[in-house]
Structure 1
């Protein structure tokens, strides 16, 4: 088990299931990504750079694309989610749409690799 899987496995339900789904979508969209830690956050990395990270707090879950530009790219489809410069917050009851997760991963991967 890698650091990302270990961090998620430590969570209770329904948070664990929600983040497992998000990570599975991210891994499918970026099969070359590897698990790691960046800025103290469990992440998937591409080319040694953080692709996407996930965290859980008492009130919400969060995905971190490490890119304000990527958050801005999907902002229009996330009207009722809490957003900040590099973070998108959600709950298991109101998870991120799969299409948005895939778009986030593909956009961030393109930033890292310099290809679309």
Structure 2
């Protein structure tokens, strides 16, 4: 296993299922993603850059796309969620829609690809 899967294995119940579902969707969309650490968090990495982290906190789950640009790009889809330039917060009772997770992952992947082509 890797850092993210080890982290997920320590979670319980609905949070564990949700965090694992997001990890699995990201890996499906970006098969070259590898597990590692970014900014002290277990994360998926792509082309040596942080792609995504999902972490459980006391009152929410945080999705970290490591990109204020990506968060800004989906800002219109975040009504009803708490967010800042670096994280999107949600709960197991009010999860992010799969289509939104997919969009975030794809936008971040494309951002990394564009940066690596310079």
What TM-score results when the alignment is normalised by the length of structure 1?
0.96
Alignment map for 1:1-116 (pairs within 5 Å): 1-114=1-114
Give 3-state SS (helix, strand or coil) of 2:13's partner.
Answer: coil
State the Cα distance separating 1:76 from its structure 2 match: 0.6
CA distance in 1, matches of 2:102, 2:28: 8
CA distance in 2, matches of 1:7, 1:101: 20
How many residue pairs end up in the alignment? 115
Give 3-state SS (helix, strand or coil) of 1:94's partner.
Answer: coil
Give 3-state SS (helix, strand or coil) of 1:53's partner.
Answer: strand
State the Cα distance separating 1:93 from its structure 2 match: 0.8
State the Cα distance separating 1:14 from its structure 2 match: 1.2
Q: Which runs of 5+ in 2 are unaligned?
A: none
Deviations 1:9-49 (A, max 9, x none): 10111110010111111111111100101111111001110
CA distance in 2, matches of 1:96, 1:88: 9
Give 3-state SS (helix, strand or coil) of 2:74's partner.
Answer: helix
State the Cα distance separating 1:75 from its structure 2 match: 1.1
CA distance in 1, matches of 2:3, 2:66: 18
Give 3-state SS (helix, strand or coil) of 1:101's partner.
Answer: helix
CA distance in 2, matches of 1:93, 1:101: 16
